[in-house]
């Protein structure tokens, strides 16, 4: 347990606001909204007066749901520094899922984007005392008594009374609360009835933040572009919590992060480190790089010593500039990076690394800076913070990855059965991932326990590895490998943009997919061979974290 004063989650922010008072803290990208640490601290003070006026007590739950913006950030920090428990809800959850989470978490206040609230029936969330807008922090719904009635004037009057001489850094003084206490409850699934609320202690969040300090990923004046949803543990921990704990500046992307918006943000902000998911780099590789290196002349040059370096350096320079030109590295998380993409980026010495984590570890389990990163790994187990073991390894050393340490959750909220199933009898968290660990502590993931298939002779088949190869084929957007009567079938959603650009007919597309099948099978073991490719005419349904809902599909 992290017990030193400087390791206490709430004290970390108390100190950060005081030390970085005049530095810029958050911006809503594309708007004129820019807040310093001092301005944020003042808004948090107003929020604390609001909580007190509404009768919120230490340990009460407060939910927040909406796209990234400064009010979202202030709500989160105001909640944890007050001693309440924040319940972040992904903005992509359907209304029924959001209602389930609000009720299940017993949240008393809800801060939400106006547009999302329009789809929620207030009668279905009867225990909420009040709902406030993340657009302008105005009251949307109140079930409080007249004495607790709240509006802008009420809070201003309370603020003037509490701070008659104005608000200064000396007024930043937060509750004394142990790192052992609960800081947040994050729900891992959007499926009503199956949502699991991860109980995250302050200790887990503090551990991730301190790791960011230790590794130099965050520091005073660092710049982050927060385009991953802050309600997701990955973006929340490093683009937001660690960045603001260190005195950095978080630029919040509140719109769908299209390539156009992201490239504009990177060019303007020039981030010092970039957190991303594989999809973005894989799309850039497929759309920008693969067509270049596939051209006959270029592919010939790439086989020539010395000449290849000229071409590769030019590609690297273009890529680095596209991401702003001043970042130390790009950190991929959330899913494995395609092996072909990783191999090429490593060849051009692009500063890329892959980390591993989960909501249940807030989120980090392993990481290595790009110059220490080993190919096809997902980083090195965090020294002094986390431990990893492989349970029941097979002949190849593959088994379930199990972890324990500072970042591990306390369990699932109001779900003793799921909590019990998630931990071994000796206290290790079951990740549900299959993989290996080498002598240096680098983790290599093979797939999920629940998705692993068995070949006709009992061989282990990891569909994610096969899908990665299929997804590199021409005219493939995404794929799903399933099993029927020991045969493997691949459902493939075509890249219709490329199909239309080349004016392909359905018959021509089917012929090309059969060619893809044969090419992929040349890269696979006998027991992994794809028996059939079936064209699937729309994208697969996904979770809010953009993982395919595999259970919806069958061969």
The predicted pLDDT at position 191 comes to 32
In a domain, 234, yes or no: yes
Q: Are residues 227 and 366 located together in one domain of the fold? A: no
Domain boundary among 388, 422, 448: 448
Q: In Å, how far from its chain's centre is CA 218?
A: 17
257 in any annotated domain: no
- Strands (DSSP E) contained in 372-465 are 380-381, 386-391, 399-405, 411-412, 429-437, 443-448, 453-454, 460-461
| CA dist 275 → 10, 281, 297, 333, 347 (Å) | 24, 11, 34, 8, 21
Give the number of other CB atoms < 10 A from CB of residue 124. Answer: 14
Query: What does the pLDDT read at residue 289?
Result: 83
Do residues 168 and 306 both lie within one domain? no
Tell whether the model's pLDDT for residue 193 goes beyond 60. no
pLDDT of res. 125: 97
Identify the bridge partners of residue 399 per DSSP, sorted by sequence position: 435
The answer to whether residues 437 and 459 belong to one domain is no
By the 8 A CB rule, do 26 and 70 touch?
A: yes
Question: Which CATH number fits the domain that encloses residue 191?
Answer: 3.40.50.980
**% helix, strand, coil for the chain, step of 5:** 40, 25, 40
Can you spell out the DSSP letters for 249-293?
EEEE--S---HHHHHHHHHHH--SSEEE-HHHHHHHIIIIIHHHH
pLDDT of residue 3: 80
Residue 298 phi, psi dihedral angles, 5° rounding: -70, -45
Contact between 475 and 499 (Cβ < 8 Å): yes
Question: 415 with 197: CB under 8 angstroms?
Answer: yes
Classify residue 263: in a domain, yes or no. no
The confidence score (pLDDT) of residue 356 equals 95
What rounded mean pLDDT belongs to the chain?
92
Look at the chain and report how many structural domains it folds into: 3
220/139 same-domain check? yes
Q: Looking at the structure, do residues 429 and 459 belong to the same domain, yes or no?
A: no
Q: Indicate the residue among 252, 283, 304 that finishes a domain.
A: 252
pLDDT, tens digit, for every residue of 90-133?
998 889 889 999 999 999 999 999 999 999 999 999 999 999 99
The answer to whether the beta carbons of residues 528 and 488 sit under 8 Å apart is yes
Number of helices (H), then strands (E), belonging to the chain: the values are: 19, 27
pLDDT band at 485 (very low <50, low <70, confident <90, very high): confident
Please list, in sequence order, all residues whose beta carbon lies within 8 angstroms of the beta carbon of residue 61, skipping any fewer than 6 positions away.
84, 85, 86, 87, 105, 106, 107, 108, 185
502: DSSP letter: T
Q: Which CATH number do you get for residue 375?
A: 3.40.50.12780
322 Cα distance to chain centroid: 22
Angle between helical axes of 37-53 and 152-162 (0-180°, round to 10): 110
Q: Are residues 98 and 133 in the same domain?
A: yes
Does 520 fall in a domain? yes
Which phi and psi angles does 295 have, rounded to 5°? Answer: -65, 140
Closest CA to 195 of 327, 63, 69: 63
Q: Which of 34, 66, 41, 19 is nearest to 220 (CA)?
A: 19
* pLDDT given for residue 89 in this prediction: 95
Quick one: which H or E segment has residue 168?
none
Q: Are residues 372 and 247 located together in one domain of the fold?
A: no
Q: What is the DSSP letter of 198?
A: E
- CA torsion sign for 182, 547, 386, 389 is positive
Residue 109, in any domain of the structure? yes
Residues 294 and 352 in one domain: yes
406 & 509 share domain: no
Confidence at residue 278, expressed as pLDDT on a 0 to 100 scale: 86
- Considering only residues 221 and 300, tell me which one the structure prediction assigns the higher pLDDT: 221
Residues 192-202, mean pLDDT to the nearest whole number: 81
Judge if 491 and 403 occupy the same domain: no
d(CA 540, CA 472): 17
Question: 188: which residues sit within 8 A by CB, 6+ positions away?
Answer: 195, 196, 197, 198, 359, 360
Q: In the prediction, which pLDDT does 152 show? A: 65
Beta bridge partners of 97: none
**Residue 548 gets which letter from DSSP?**
B
Q: Is residue 28 one of the residues assigned to a domain?
A: yes
Domain match, 90 and 160 both: yes
| pLDDT (0 to 100) of residue 92 | 83
Highest mean pLDDT among 77-86, 304-313, 457-466, 524-533: 77-86
Same domain, 412 and 471: no
- For the segment 273-332, what is each residue's pLDDT rounded down to a tens digit? 999 988 888 888 878 887 877 776 667 767 777 667 888 888 899 899 999 999 999 999
| Percent of the residues in the chain that have a pLDDT greater than 70, as a whole number | 95
Domain membership of residue 336 (yes or no) is: yes
Residue 192: the pLDDT is: 36
CATH number at residue 515: 3.30.300.30
Q: Which residue has the higher pLDDT, 448 or 521?
A: 521
| More confidently predicted of 502 and 2 | 502
Q: Which helix (H) or strand (E) holds 419?
A: helix 416-422
Determine the distance from the C-alpha atom of residue 447 to the mean position of all C-alpha atoms in its chain, rounded to a whole number: 19
pLDDT digit string (tens) for 243-258? 999 999 999 999 988 8
Q: Is residue 41 part of a domain?
A: yes
Strands 453-454 and 24-28: unpaired
User: Domain residues for 177?
Assistant: 5-252
Last residue of a domain, one of 448, 475, 492: 448
Q: Measured in Å, how far apart are the chain's first and last C-alpha atoms?
A: 48
Give the pLDDT score at 94: 84
| More confidently predicted of 486 and 295 | 486
């Amino acid at each position: 347990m992290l017990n030193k004063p400087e390791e206490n989650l709430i004290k970390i922010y108390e100190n950060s606001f005081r030390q970085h008072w005049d530095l810029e803290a958050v911006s809503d990208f594309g708007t004129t909204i820019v807040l310093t640490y001092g301005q944020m601290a003042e808004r948090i003070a107003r929020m604390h007066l609001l909580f007190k006026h509404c009768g919120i007590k230490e340990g009460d739950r407060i939910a927040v749901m909406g796209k990234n913006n400064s009010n979202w950030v202030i709500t989160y920090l105001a909640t944890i520094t007050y001693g309440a428990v924040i319940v972040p809800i992904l903005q992509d959850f359907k209304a029924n899922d959001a209602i389930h989470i609000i009720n299940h978490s017993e949240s008393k206040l809800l801060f939400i984007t106006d547009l999302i609230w329009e789809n929620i029936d207030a009668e279905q969330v009867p225990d909420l005392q009040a709902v406030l807008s993340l657009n302008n922090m105005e009251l949307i719904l109140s079930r409080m008594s007249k004495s607790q009635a709240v509006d802008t004037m009420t809070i201003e009057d309370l603020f003037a009374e509490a701070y008659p001489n104005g608000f200064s850094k000396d007024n930043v003084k937060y509750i004394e609360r142990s790192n052992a206490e609960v800081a947040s409850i994050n729900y891992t699934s959007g499926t009503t009835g199956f949502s699991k609320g991860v109980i995250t202690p302050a200790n887990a969040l503090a551990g991730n933040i301190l790791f960011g300090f230790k590794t130099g990923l965050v520091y005073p004046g660092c710049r982050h572009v927060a385009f991953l949803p802050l309600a997701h543990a990955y973006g929340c921990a490093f683009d937001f919590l660690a960045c603001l704990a260190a005195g950095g500046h978080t630029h919040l992307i509140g719109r769908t992060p299209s390539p156009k918006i992201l490239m504009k943000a990177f060019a303007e902000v020039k981030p010092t480190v970039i957190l991303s998911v594989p999809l973005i780099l894989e799309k850039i590789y497929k759309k920008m790089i693969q067509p270049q290196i596939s051209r006959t002349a270029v592919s010939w040059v790439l086989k020539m010593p010395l000449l290849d370096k000229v071409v590769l350096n030019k590609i690297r320079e273009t890529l680095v500039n596209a991401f702003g030109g001043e970042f130390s590295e790009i950190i991929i998380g959330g899913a494995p990076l395609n092996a072909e993409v990783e191999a090429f980026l490593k060849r051009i010495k692009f500063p890329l690394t892959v980390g591993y984590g989960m909501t249940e570890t807030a989120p980090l389990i392993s990481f290595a800076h790009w110059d220490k990163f080993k190919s096809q790994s997902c980083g090195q187990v965090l020294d002094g913070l986390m431990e990893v073991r492989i349970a029941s390894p097979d002949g190849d050393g593959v088994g379930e990855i199990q972890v324990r340490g500072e970042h591990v959750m306390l369990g699932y909220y109001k779900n003793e059965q799921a909590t019990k199933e998630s931990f071994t009898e000796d206290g290790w968290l079951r990740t549900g991932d299959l993989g290996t660990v080498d002598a240096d502590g680098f983790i290599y993931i093979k797939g999920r326990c629940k998705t692993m298939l068995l070949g006709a002779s009992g061989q282990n088949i990891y569909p994610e590895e096969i899908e990665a190869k299929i997804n590199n084929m021409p005219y493939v957007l995404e794929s799903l490998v399933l099993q029927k009567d020991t045969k493997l079938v691949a459902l493939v959603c075509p890249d219709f943009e490329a199909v239309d650009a080349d004016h392909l007919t359905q018959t021509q597309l089917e012929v090309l997919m059969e060619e893809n099948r044969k090419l992929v099978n040349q890269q696979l073991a006998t027991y992994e061979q794809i028996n059939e490719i079936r064209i699937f005419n729309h994208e697969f349904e996904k979770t809010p974290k953009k993982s395919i809902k595999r259970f919806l599909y069958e061969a």
